[in-house]
Amino acid sequence: MAQLKIVQMHKCFETLSSELRLKILESLLERPMHVEELADKTGSERSTVSHSLKVLKDCSYVQSEKSGKERIYSLTPGVLKGIKDRGEAHVFKFVDEHFQNYCNCECKRV
């Protein structure tokens, strides 16, 4: 059972390992947006943003709602529930604290 949980966590962190996906999540903290807005905000191509949104949606980080011919993307209620008052999800706070305390901008993996 523990092995299955580790595999599931690995997939979760794999989803969050993309800089673009993190930028999308950060953008959606502000308000729901459509693909074109997210592409402009992240400085990425629309097709790349669409692909990342599919991955985020498959993992239930985001949801979409059809509005005319467009889909409007927003954070899922579960993700919103995990967000603190300052707008940071618990996992992002943990990673930031780890980075500040242990990596100190000297990551050996870069």
3 DSSP assignment: H
**Confidence band, pLDDT 50/70/90 cuts, at residue 23:** very high
pLDDT averaged over the chain? Answer: 79
pLDDT mean over 62-82:
86
| Distance separating alpha carbons of residues 19 and 104, to the nearest angstrom | 19
| Distance separating alpha carbons of residues 41 and 47, to the nearest angstrom | 14
Indicate if the pLDDT at residue 14 is higher than 70. yes
Tell me phi and psi for residue 59, to 5 degrees: -95, 10
Can you tell me which residue has the tokens 């997210």? 38
Tell me phi and psi for residue 73, to 5 degrees: -100, 140
- Min mean pLDDT across 15-19, 48-52, 57-61, 87-91 is at 87-91
- 90, containing H or E segment: helix 90-98
Kindly state the tokens that stand for 103: 């990596």
